[in-house]
Structure 1
Amino acid sequence: MNKLVFLEEKATQIRRDLLKMIVNAGTGHTAGSLSNTDIMTVLFYEVMDMKVDDPDWEDRDRFILSKGHSVESYYTILADKGYFDKEELNTFCQYKSRLIGHPNNKVPGVEMNTGALGHGLAIATGIAKAAKMSKKDYKVYTLMGDGEQAEGSVWEAAMAASHFKLDNLVGIVDRNNLQITDNTERVMTLEPLAEKWKSFGWEVIEVDGHNYQELIDAFSESKKNNGKPTLVLANTIKGKGVSFMENKVEWHHGLPSAEELAQALEELSSQKEVKQNV
């Protein structure tokens, strides 16, 4: 199967599964998980070097989900890859489940507990620095939200990563332009965001965060940045793939009804069929 077709089909499956998981749990961060699904699909199925049968493999690439509230795509991907049984997804946010509403490192494949926004990049910077000190070749990836860019700790970590020339570090911003209450530019102006990262000494690659080839190329390019960390600025659509959720702030933490779930699953299936027939 063509690589891009595989990634497209896998992302559709992940979107369907995470929506069902959220509805079953009665809670979740819906639209933000849909916006980052393509980014995470490319990372986990194409880019990162990891071993499912040895989650603690010393030379694995590391992934930190800084926007920890969008954990649904993370858990769904880990289950699909075989880090734990898919049936466990049915326990998401249930009493005594290890699949809590933010990343939990008791789950195989999860590096760090995250969720307090603004901390993921600092953690990833420390891990990348440790790799340099230990003369290890693994890469460190961290996915941040765009609303998270208003946190001062993000910029402290960005400054440190540049200072220490951490070219083994890749930050990704899920730039969907919405956060929990409103458009990011109305809550706290971020633009010119790319220029801000460049001014902190980062190599910035701007991509369509739903274009698999652009994402693959960006992550490949990041490996060539000698002496600089890389920021992949991924322009995305919040709620991607479900028409009535796209670019709607109310779906940040929205819970689909049974009827809305059925419509969403139908839309995702229809998109898959159209793409297969093109």
Structure 2
Amino acid sequence: MKSLAARRRHPAALIVLLIIGLFATGGLYALFSPTAGAQTKTMTAADIETGRKMFLANCASCHGMQAQGTADGPSLVGVGAASVDFQMGTGRMPLAAPSVQAQRTFPVKFNQEQIDQVAAYVQSLGPGPAIPDEQYASGVGGDTARGAQIFLVNCAMCHNFAGSGGALTRGKWAPPLQNIEGKHIYEAMLTGPQSMPVFNEANLSPEAKRDVIAYLHELDKKESPGGHSLGNIGPVGDAFFFWLLGIPLMLGAAIWLGRKAP
């Protein structure tokens, strides 16, 4: 007993206990943290090698020969397959020209098989978010009312309440979200591209992401029952429209009627 008590008072005991606690916390987090599950498609060594060759031909000039990053592009080690699938699947990468922000472009340069191969190569460089499972990324079965609440709290301040997008600082912008594939919406939430914050599986569950996607897809179906939507940019845009067109028309009508009066 005296020997055990002496060991507890040893200067290194606190460090040993701290290390044990850190390993235990990390293990429990990995065991119980929610995950969306990766796509079940199996990528072979040949696919990864093909992806490496495409990376060297199309991406290495900015991201480095080992994807370690350069002055022209960030490191891709640990960004995961989901980030690659989002950036290449929406045509943002390869970047056509230096810009304050990569723009969504169509048609994309690579087909889905080629994108999967580059994503598999980048995933092999270091663990990162995987391409989400269709069960969650499609939005099918999602709660649109709950998705609207989550979107309005977390996303509307940048993307507008109707997903129409909006201006940010220093020439950047939050892109519109109309008619976006559910997989790419999920990947954007998961990886936080450019100015967007990261909503990982711990702070926004896969089910919550599915609800947001369901809400945005529901917006895609809706027409404007009150007439022209004016871009869905809110009351400021409506007021600007009336000041720019409505007030001059009313003034013109008043002057015309005044001149016709006897």
Q: Give the number of the structure whose residues are more often helix, by fraction.
A: 2
Highest RCO, 1 vs 2 (Cα 8 Å, sep ≥ 6) = 1
Question: Is TM-score (shorter-chain normalized) higher than 0.5?
Answer: no
The two structures have a TM-score, normalised by structure 1, of 0.24
Which structure is larger by alpha-carbon Rg, 1 or 2? 2
